[in-house]
Homo-oligomer: A and B are copies of this chain.
Amino acid sequence: MTPWSLARRSARMNPSLIREILKLAERPGVLSMAGGLPSADSFPVDAIAEACARVMAQAPRQALQYAASEGYGPLRDWVAQRLAAMGLRASAEQVLITSGSQQGLDLVGKVLIDAGAPVAVESPTYLGALQAFNPYEPIYAGLAGDDEGPLPGAIEALPHDAPGTRFAYLLPNFQNPTGRVLPEARRDALVHAAQAARVPLVEDNPYGDLWYDEEPPAPLAARWPEGTVYLGSFSKVLAPGLRLGYLLAPESLYPKLLQAKQAADLHTPGFNQRVVYEVVRDGFLDRHVATIRARYRRQRDAMAAALVAHLPALSHWRAPLGGMFFWVRLPEGCDALGLLPNALAAGIAYVPGLPFYAHAGDPRTLRLSFVTLSPQEIGDGVAVLGRVLREHLDAQGEVAP
């Protein structure tokens, strides 16, 4: 008999379906459109290697010693300046460097969520945020939405439908998984609704720099600084393996988030913070992100063309204006999770949409990443997907005419 008793919250921690799918998708020969990874070909290897050498030559003992929980001062300054240029009311004192923006989500949950308290999320939303919040045992209030994002009316209804909602978690730019971006007018309407409902916002923006057609509108946090925690990341614009993100918090919240950070891991590795600062300090990031945009735009265009060419009638999608994903709704009779074994057997992989919903989701949805395959491979992979779907629909038609 085990001597261990688990905390109640551990019942809300569960193995990730996506992790299991990704393991299957890693088999040799599988064209995987399942991953949530950026393209490793986009990593600025030379710049990072040079920065490592510079940090180890110039300040090795400082970089390798314990450091402040708030983060490395010059990097906090840099982040604050970048956010200010986006229209945010950002001072370095309100910037907290985190171990990836995933940690930012954990800290927000730790400081704000009581067991049984409502948290409003989009339907669907980012799976990793649900995983970060779940251990704090919220009750999720799903926000109805359309192709322009959550509906302001859904926020307005929160005081009635989910009184005491701690915050609404929103991804305005090229959301994972749907890829959709909130237009200017929707942003304004949502912020006004949130202010009226007194529901503060947690704004997650890992993909904002990855726009392929036009720059997205200013963040929600620019419209309601004291009511918004803003989360950013270097994972999609430099490299995720350094685990470096940041948050910008209102003055009333910052001290508790900082104390939660200190309790969680003391501080984000100082070495990594200095390396990234060395890489970005001279304006490198804007030049580099332009190359990622050009690369991903070609891949986005290839997938858009391939979907038109190969997906069966009554499939639905909208080509995203940024980010890394297409979100596809299959024709009636197609269950994305149920069809995954067929897809894997045929040599491709995708992620079914269900895990992205806090509540019951749409089983006909799936997510396709376009950033890790070449345009040629994207064409091949989508052609296989189309064949798998048509074979299934044809077989269905035979049994149920």
Hey, which bits of chain A sit against chain B, CB under 8 A? 2-10, 13-16, 19, 36-38, 40-41, 43, 45, 48-49, 52-53, 56-57, 60-67, 99-100, 102-103, 106, 110-114, 117, 128, 131-132, 134-136, 164, 166-167, 195, 198-200, 226-227, 235, 239-243, 250, 252-253, 255-256, 259-260, 262-272
Contacts and interface: CB of A to CB of B under 8 A. Distances in A.
Nearest to A8: B114
Contacts of A41: 61
Contacts of A67: 241
- Give the secondary structure class of A's interface: helix
6 contacts: A3-B227, A6-B112, A45-B61, A102-B266, A106-B263, A132-B263
Contacts of A198: 3
B113 A7 contact: yes
Contacts of A113: 7
A102 B265 contact: yes
Contacts of A132: 263-264
**Closest A-B pairs by Cβ, 6 of them:** A64-B239, A40-B61, A49-B56, A13-B259, A64-B241, A3-B200
A264 B106 contact: yes
Given A5-B164, A7-B111, A271-B241, A61 B43 contact: yes
Contact of A110 (B7, B38, B112, B164): B7
A134 B262 CA distance: 12
A34 to B, nearest CB: 13
Contact of A4 (B2, B65, B250, B271): B250
Contact of A7 (B38, B136, B200, B264): B136
A361 to B, nearest CB: 20
A102 B260 CA distance: 12
B265 A106 contact: yes
Given A49-B56, A49-B57, A260 B13 contact: yes
A103 B262 CA distance: 10
A395 B268 CA distance: 46
A127 to B, nearest CB: 11
Contacts of A48: 56, 60, 64
A242 B260 CA distance: 20
A112 B99 CA distance: 23
A193 B2 CA distance: 16
Nearest to A43: B64
A337 to B, nearest CB: 21
Nearest to A238: B64
A242 B4 CA distance: 31
A264 B105 CA distance: 8
A380 B3 CA distance: 50
